[in-house]
Amino acid sequence: MMVNSPAIITEVFPPHERGRALGINGITWAIGGIVGPLLGGLILTVANWRWIFYINVPIGVVGTLWGYYALKELMAHKREQRFDATGAFTFSVGLVSLLFALTLGIQFSWLSPAILVLFGLFVVMTAIFLAWERRSADPMLDLSLFKNRIYNFSVLAAMLQSLAMFAMNFLIVFYLQAVRGYDPLTAAVLLIPLS
């Protein structure tokens, strides 16, 4: 969502309105960074942690349906482009394999056959994905973008910034609750300055 929203905004809004639209998008993300942990802390204070997922499923369904109907007009203008099903499949299988390997590698041995197969499947699917994207007429990921040094460094900077920020956000919650002994709502309130 963080990648797609600016792309959709630049596609939909004319150049003289893009700055305002991107600013509103940034403000919305910041508000979400404040409200999300507060609501999560409140839910954990009054209910079971599973309720966070119970609440998010209907929100996700409504958001998906709203996005489908709201962006239908935009989709109609791009009918000459085809969906890259092969690219999407190989990318998804590779990514899911990597995530399962990293998640289950802690539980099992990193050198267990199942984990090695998952890592191998990630490598094979990523190689197939990259080979397919190079020759696809409508690639899911346009690899020619990576020929631009400015683009490469901006993507690298954004990745490092996100890793630093979200890793700290992830760990500080455990620190506030497990080490400092704060309840979830107090920990959420203490996270507000980060956003």
The stretch 70-91 carries a mean pLDDT of: 77
**pLDDT for 140 beyond 60:** yes
Concatenate the DSSP letters of all residues of 72-120 into one string. Answer: HHHHHTTTTS---HHHHHHHHHHHHHHHHHHHHHHHS-TTSHHHHHHHH
Q: What is the mean pLDDT of the chain?
A: 87
> According to the model, what pLDDT value does residue 13 have?
85
> According to the model, what pLDDT value does residue 7 have?
78
Please report which confidence band the pLDDT of residue 74 belongs to, taking 50, 70 and 90 as the band edges. low
Least-confidence region, from 73-77, 132-136, 176-180: 73-77
φ, ψ of residue 142 to 5 degrees: the values are -75, 105
Q: pLDDT tens, 94-110?
A: 999 999 999 999 899 99
Nearest to 64 by CA among 4, 7, 23, 17: 4
Residues of the chain with pLDDT > 70, as a percent, come to 95
Please report which confidence band the pLDDT of residue 11 belongs to, taking 50, 70 and 90 as the band edges. confident
Enumerate residues 6+ apart whose C-beta is below 8 A from 69. none
